[in-house]
Amino acid sequence: MQCLADVLITPSRVKILRDRLDRVKYFYSKKVSDYEHYIRKIVAEVNLVSNEESKITNNKVYSIFKNGLPGVLRDKLIFNDINDICRAVEVIERLETESPLYIAKLKEQKVFNDKIYKDNRNIKNKKLVNTEM
């Protein structure tokens, strides 16, 4: 099985997967369970070909999960002293069912803020043409 995985999952693919883990965000998922499943799927693929020293541990998985959450949800996990991904998913799922408008508003704000950030980057990247002669 390991030999087959080594052939199918190249080192460049592992680097791409690790980059995806660094950029994964809750906003792009419909539910927190989808978000968790996506993270676990990538981690399983990376760990399949990684040696013992470079495998992604459960603590690192939780850290990746937490870092992809909006600040308000991250603060709720810290305030409630939650250090386990399963418990964190339960808490956020409860928020999703009890107050879906709150979660929708968080996601909407993130999309709006991303749009403003991208617009500002585009303005900074445009070069001004010198019109003086």
> pTM (2 decimals)?
0.72
pLDDT (tens digit, 9 = 90+) per residue, 96-109?
Answer: 888 877 777 777 77
Considering the domain boundaries, does residue 133 fall inside one?
Answer: no
User: How many other CB atoms are there within 10 angstroms of residue 14's CB atom?
Assistant: 17
Considering the domain boundaries, does residue 12 fall inside one?
Answer: yes
Structure tokens at 111: 């999309």
60-70: average pLDDT = 93
Short-list 97, 89, 76, 14, CA closest to 48: 14
- Total domains in the fold of the chain: 1
- Domain span including residue 34: 2-125
Considering the domain boundaries, does residue 51 fall inside one?
Answer: yes
Considering the domain boundaries, does residue 41 fall inside one?
Answer: yes
Query: For residues 50 and 60, is the Cβ–Cβ distance under 8 A?
Result: no
